A and B are shown apart, each in its own frame.
Chain A
Amino acid sequence: MKGTDLAFASAAEIAAQVRQRELTARQVAEACLARIEALQPRLNCFIQILSDIAFEQASSVDDAIRSGRTAGPLAGVPVAIKDIIDVAGVTTTSASHRWLHRQAETDAALAERLRRAGAILIGKTNLHECAFGVTNINPHYGPVHNPWDPTRIPGGSSGGSAAAVAAGLCAGAVGTDTGGSIRIPASLCGVAGIKPTYGLVPLDGVIPLAWTLDHAGPLARTVRDAALLLDVMAGTVEDDARSLVRALDAAGPLSSRGASGARGVRVGIPRKFFWEHLDIEVETIATTAVETLRSLGAGVRDVEVPYASFAGSAVSVILSTEATAFHEQHLRTHPAEYGEDVRTRLERGFFLSGTDYITALRAQGFLHREFLRAFEEADVLVMPTTQAAASPIDDDPSSASTTSLAMSVHLTRFTNPFNLTGFPALSLPCGFTKEGLPVGLQIVGRPRDEALVLRVGKAYESATEWHTRRPPLH
């Protein structure tokens, strides 16, 4: 494999070729870094490019293979890390003012796992400042541009990660998701991204936004690759009580499941709330995707998700309170070091009361149980990931903050309920608008049922070709 073929090769293909010595990890790293160098000025996906770390890791993988040692399931696979996650020896910027940066002495647990699995950590990706927003318009590092149309946002907050995967700058990437920050950019950039069950992927070494809602997960060009990355990232660590005790791969690697497709799976369509106020093109494309699932043997039926419209309110209160608590000290002393939209989001949190916060946490428990009731009649829930495709970048100082605040409400409508409940949710490409912009389909499962979510996603992907389209980058 060379050039564009290598840029868009799957993680599974790269790892197989590296393990079989048809390709060296160093060749993969060189090709990847060359493409990043060529496209970074146009897309601005990265805050830091980790050439030294990448070559060091590539040498380690190649040495292991030459000497007959186990190279790991991600041998030589280039993976980008959202710059809110620690990589040893590298500054974690959180795409914020330099006074908020921290020097990481050790890898975050998930980064360490990726490295141990043979992945090449190729760079730290750009994000919405402090992961608190969805446009990825950043006053400190500039906006990330959507590879399908560089005049448009990639979505956020993991916009650099999603855009890098879509543009063939890496085979996979890591994002975090507090209200939709993996799934929204996955949808707007035409890649797969999964927010796993709350606690499945450890968050130590990840700068928090809101502890109750924070998740980490992978983005990749295919569902199979997302499963491969999640297999490595998931599990437990002794010092993170939020991680699930049971390792997800107890029944075998996720990436090797999926043979039984969507046949017999009960697909629930929550028409009320989750299929309302849609852009007409998005509605048509998502409806066609549901019909594809039906043609694959899934049983499709409408379901009710009781009190769904309340989830966003609970997320707003919990997110604002916790984010303000995390940033309080710096916010009080250096408020001007935050971008206008993030500063507003943080300052508003001072005006919530303790009873507001506890009311929202009690609502979380109530809604968790109510949402589970929808799964009495369905095995997965399916809906569009966002109401509309990517919008134009608004970086006009007079309107950017207002646009950013409005976009957060708009784009997180269908995603943030599953941060509140902690249910696993996958976004994968299901079509393109007439303007050539990707549209995402969200598949949601019961807690810890990533296997079924991925199985349905993989079945849909196998029956369609949306994931094989490439953005017009020349």
Chain B
Amino acid sequence: MRLPTEEDLAKVAAALGLSLDRARIRAILPEVERLFEAAQRLRELPIDPAQAPRVTEHP
């Protein structure tokens, strides 16, 4: 899966009504990329598809 681009973020920001100009988007892009990679990486874990998003002994 490809990493998000400035253009992608600009479109999402507009859709969410966020007042992020191009300079801000450029400033946060590396951090968004890092989070995006982290979220994608979690999908590599061999988690039982039926597992609920809740843990034992950790409410």
Contact = CB atoms under 8 A, between A and B. Distances in A.
Residue among B13, B32, B54 with most chain A CB within 10 A: B32
Given A352-B39, A363-B42, 9 more contacts: A198-B58, A310-B42, A310-B45, A313-B42, A332-B18, A347-B28, A365-B51, A365-B53, A405-B31
Interface string B9-53: 100110011111000100110011011111101111101000111
A365 B54 contact: yes
B59 A351 contact: no
Given A358-B53, A365-B51, A199 B34 contact: no
A421 B58 contact: yes
Contacts of B53: 358, 361-362, 364-365
Contacts of B1: none
**Interface residue SS majority, chain A:** helix
Interface residues of B, number: 35
Given A198-B58, A344-B27, A356-B39, A366 B34 contact: no
Given A352-B35, A421-B58, A359 B43 contact: yes
A242 interface: yes
Contact of A362 (B37, B51, B59): B51
Interface string A357-379: 01111111111110000000000
Interface in A336-366: 344-345, 347-353, 356, 358-366
Interface string A305-345: 00100101110110010000000000010010000000011
Interface of A: 198-199, 241-242, 307, 310, 312-314, 316-317, 320, 332, 335, 344-345, 347-353, 356, 358-369, 405, 409, 421-422, 447
Contact of B45 (A350, A353, A366): A366
Contacts, number: 100
A418 to B, nearest CB: 11
A423 B24 CA distance: 37
20 contacts: A310-B45, A313-B37, A314-B38, A320-B35, A335-B19, A351-B4, A351-B32, A351-B35, A352-B39, A356-B39, A359-B42, A360-B39, A362-B47, A362-B52, A363-B47, A365-B53, A368-B55, A422-B55, A422-B58, A447-B58
A406 B54 CA distance: 30
A405 B31 CA distance: 8
Interface of B: 4, 9, 12-13, 16-20, 24, 27-28, 31-32, 34-39, 41-45, 47, 51-59
A409 B43 CA distance: 20
Residue among A344, A353, A405 with most chain B CB within 10 A: A344
Contacts of A360: 39, 42
A425 to B, nearest CB: 14
Residue among A241, A366, A369, A422 with most chain B CB within 10 A: A366
B59 A199 contact: yes
Nearest to B31: A348
B11 to A, nearest CB: 11
A356 B16 CA distance: 17
A365 B13 CA distance: 31
Nearest to A402: B30
A422 B57 contact: yes
